Amino acid sequence: GGGYPQVAAVSIFGASGMLLANSLYYPAPYASIANRDDFAGIRDGKVIEHISRLMMGPLKLENIPVFNTGVARRHSDGSFAGMVSIALKSSYFNAFYRDLLGGSKTPMTMALARSDGAVIASYPPPPSIAHTDREATFGNPRNDPRAGVVRVRHGSDDSEIVAYRQVGSYPVYVTCAYRTSEIWREWYEHLSVLFLSMFAPSIALWCVIWLSLKRLKAEERAWDRWQAEASMRRSIESAYRQSRKMQALGTLVGSVAHDFNNLLMIISSNVQIARRRGTQHLDKELGAIERALKNGQSLTRQLLGVARKQPLHNETIDVGQWLGTCRELLKTSLGSKSSLVVAIDPGVWPIRVDVAELELAVINLAVNARDAMSSGGRFTVGARNVTLRREDGFPLTGDFVQISLDDTGSGMAP
């Protein structure tokens, strides 16, 4: 090599193609290259053949791929006298391109190729040297003959981007190719890394938001429970105070009712004594006294019921029949200026109730309605079947009969 590791051998050939001198042997062995394309091309003046195709080296280099660069030898009269040829190792350029690309994992390919597309050095190396021609990119008249970037297709699905530049004035080019499939693959890898770098913080942020919302809902439920408990406690306290008031009122009413009942018993006893003695012409008066005694006893039961001294006496009644019996009492409570209207839906269910308590409640409402209708009006008593459900917000559920009372009075001021 003489300090040039890329040089395999230097040879001098005569006009007939016979080897005259060689840097590896002395004397030069018998060999002829008369049939080689590079020798014939230089002899005939073809510029492209100044750089030969890739071939196996002669003699000692027969197993080493080389390419030759040659120049013609001329006599003084200008006639062809032979050729000086320098055999260059393709492996040297392959190693140079490997180091330039950074090793075997590179996605790019660098090559040294003739202008007809014949590759004479490449990394990664081509699979064989028997046929290394590629598309004659550099000879395409549409491309720049000195340098450029073109896209070369390989089949229908793959292609590569090739950048090329001519080496001096030689008919050879240095190329660097990048497969589009590798570009897409690296782009997808970069995009996936970018996506993960954005997606992971987004997931973490959504988790934090979800946990915050979950905790907020738990706090809201706790607040609602506290509000419900506080409201229930206030209701219980109010009910307790009301019960104490009603207990005091019941004690007073019970005492009055007890004394009143004692008076009624005295009157009843005297009426019975009078009937046994056979008092004449007083039957009508005694009957009126007995009817008053019955009303007084009913009033005593009602007072004791309010005072809770008298146990409730529940019984099953027909609402329509009951309203028919107390119609006159309601008319009397309303007075002569107001009219009574009874509106009962057909098929109203029977109810179980304390008749005295129900009658007292309706009479009290009728009296209130009379006071609200000072100039007269209409007092309507209605009854209809209703079904209460818990999802509608009612504390009681089941089938009930709704008794409604309505008047045309002015009502209370807000």
Report pLDDT digits (tens) over 271-329: 777 777 776 677 777 778 877 877 777 777 767 666 655 566 788 999 888 888 888 87
Identify the architecture of domain 92-184 in CATH. 2-Layer Sandwich (3.30)
Q: Please state, in angstroms and as integers, the Cα–Cα distance from residue 318 to each residue in 155, 345, 383, 399, following that order.
A: 99, 13, 11, 15
Low-confidence ranges of the chain (pLDDT < 70): 1-2, 48-49, 57-62, 126-144, 154-156, 279-280, 302, 304-312, 411-414
* pLDDT (tens digit per residue) in 44-74: 888 766 888 888 766 555 678 888 888 888 8
Contacts of 175 (CB under 8 A, 6+ apart): 109, 110, 111, 112, 113, 137, 162, 163, 164
* CATH number, domain 312-407: 3.30.565.10
Task: Tell me 350's DSSP state.
Answer: P
What gap in Å lies between CA 331 and CA 319, rounded to an integer?
17
Contacts of 265 (CB under 8 A, 6+ apart): none
What gap in Å lies between CA 54 and CA 91, rounded to an integer?
11
What gap in Å lies between CA 53 and CA 126, rounded to an integer?
14
What is the residue whose two structure tokens read 């506290």? 226
What gap in Å lies between CA 348 and CA 227, rounded to an integer?
40
- Beta strands, E only, 299-350: 314-317, 339-344
What gap in Å lies between CA 152 and CA 137, rounded to an integer?
8
Identify the architecture of domain 7-90 in CATH. 2-Layer Sandwich (3.30)
Domains 92-184 and 312-407 share a fold: no
Please, are residues 238 and 230 in contact by the beta-carbon 8 Å criterion?
no
Q: What pLDDT is recorded for position 4? A: 82
- For 130-138, which contacts have Cβ atoms below 8 Å and span 24 or more sequence positions? 132/54, 137/162, 137/164, 137/175, 138/113, 138/164, 138/166, 138/173
The one-letter code for the residue type at 353 is V
Contacts of 182 (CB under 8 A, 6+ apart): 107
Please, are residues 42 and 72 in contact by the beta-carbon 8 Å criterion?
yes
- For 166-169, which contacts have Cβ atoms below 8 Å and span 24 or more sequence positions? 166/115, 166/138, 167/112
Any idea how long the chain is? 414
Buried b (16+ CB within 10 A) or exposed e, 200-219: eeeeeeeeeeeeeeeeeeee
The Cα angle at residue 267 between residues 264 and 272, in degrees rounded to 5: 125
Q: What pLDDT is recorded for position 130? A: 42
According to DSSP, the residues that pair with 7 across neighbouring strands are 88
What gap in Å lies between CA 104 and CA 1, rounded to an integer?
27
According to DSSP, the residues that pair with 13 across neighbouring strands are 19, 83
According to DSSP, the residues that pair with 160 across neighbouring strands are 152, 179
Domain ranges of the chain: 7-90, 92-184, 312-407
Please, are residues 165 and 177 in contact by the beta-carbon 8 Å criterion?
no
